[in-house]
Structure 1
Amino acid sequence: MIRFTLRQLTYFTTTAELGSIARAGRKLRVSAAAISAAIDALEDLSGCILFDRFPAQGMRLTAVGAQLDAEARTVLAAARNWEQSTRYLREEASGHVRLGTYHALAYVFGLPIVMRNRERWPKVRLELVQTNLLSLLQQLDHGDLDVMLVYDNRFDRAARDVTDLGTVRAKVILAETHPLAQRRRLKLADLEGLPYVQLTDDTQGPTMLDSLRGLGLNPEVHFSSSSYELVRSAVGKGLGFTLSALQPANPTTYHGDRLVAIPLDAPVQERRIVALCRKGRASEPLIQNVVSSCRHVLDTAMRL
């Protein structure tokens, strides 16, 4: 945890520049007591004497103080750059950013990300592109996409910039009318003999059904679809259970049935969500603001 403030660093560097607490106070229009308190706090925090004090002659940096003064100026310069970038993004940034993702991730997170980005950077148009992983990677590498929001499939991090955004954990999805729907947690044995509704997703990684089979449970698949919402609707109609790492805030399906999401004691699949862009683009302001919007929406969803 950072225990100093930018204000304390400003008071410290100004005193170092002017050689006097009184002169620093006049320049910054604060009291000498405030300057002195900030310097005392930094000395306590660092465990070092930052200034040699000379009565009637002012103050001079110690050797350690001079090193920390240079580092403090670097921190303050970075903070000013961050503030300028933020102001630019908020007030002036404009452009068109193409964000690619899977259909299921777009269904749950796509619109909140678009709305968050629109709220923070109203002149930046964010376009969602939804397809399978192979197509997303091809479009990214050809420059047809700017950013990808996908599960981490151990991408080559030397070839692309990858930003970790968080981990989602699979839960059992059941119709609210199912006999198990009132349970707070489920065991793998509770699912024995129940039919499964399979999402034939576009992530090209191990599926939830693969995870169940790896744990020794091999349910009979009664319905499958590549449509995330159609799978939810089938579960709502009682065709079986499914596993999903994504749980929309709205538990009601298109057909009016309500679903419940219940944690499973067994170590079923966890999935890390990442943002990808072409190598060297992660520092671009428009890319950064989209990734920031993605992180905000995912963090909010994971706290629910």
Structure 2
Amino acid sequence: MSASASLARSRQRGKKILHRLFGGIVVLWASATVTFFALHLTPGDPVRAILGGPSSNPTPETIAATVKEFGLDKPLYEQYLIWLKRLLSGDFGVSFSQHQPVTEVIGSQLGATLQLTAAALLFAWLLALFSVLATARRHRLVSALGSALETLSAALPQFWLGIVLLSVFAFGLQWFPPEGDDDVISLVLPALALAIPLAGFMAQVMREAFELAAEQPFVLSARLRGVSDLKVRLRHVLRHALLPVVSLSAWAVGALMGNAVLIELIFSRQGIGRQLYQAVMKQDMPLTVGITLLITLVYIVASLLVDFLYTLIDPRIAEGQR
């Protein structure tokens, strides 16, 4: 490789990184802005939320002081500019409902949600890999059955699946605890509730790529050399079938964290999903915006990691080849 070609490639990579960073900043700003105005347009009184909710009975003097303290007497666009300035300086404010800094509330709950998200993504990958490797390019009936099960699982609502798993395996068979987040066992059912529909979707994408890759000349060449069917499927076909699913995983991480809202409620788990639900219900704007920005940031970071994983799975991508 010549020096000029190496320099040009480095510049191209630098431009790509800057483009992705700029796009990530725009997405964060758009996410925060939409959340800000949506909460302000939601029916309800933010002052009551700050002072303790509908059951509170503040004096007119307290209400007036709160309105002035939080700048709620200013025009909406001015409130937005002040809020955006604080956000850019790293000040996420104080939770209206919990009277703690937003960063502290998120920090205390983030671990539980990341644990749930990681377990669900792991289960989804394992289920998708098993389904594709066991049924794709097999007997017509086996392949059709695998494809049908993937379609069915992808269509299952996660909250409904969570209730079914809870009813059957927690209350019925009593194999798992119905609530809590104290040990690994309590993580299985909520993680499966998130993972099964995702696994069906991932398996559908992987199956299509798997079947396309299995028809390529290099696969036929491997078979003619006497390579076993298992090695062909794992070393040659699966490697190419993983690329679109790796890309899908970036979207899946953000989706899992968003869908954790209902799952954490159903299984009585701690986490930012449950906190987000409570913050929206109580019109806790600082906490709602903080959690929304965190989920968006996780999605952006996951997308950048996907680019790196792409080059590990297929080094030709790093060289700019197709």
- TM-score, normalised by the number of residues in structure 2: 0.27
More strand by share: 1
- TM-score, normalised by the number of residues in structure 1: 0.28
Q: Work out which of the two has the higher radius of gyration on C-alpha atoms and give 1 or 2.
A: 1
More helix by share: 2
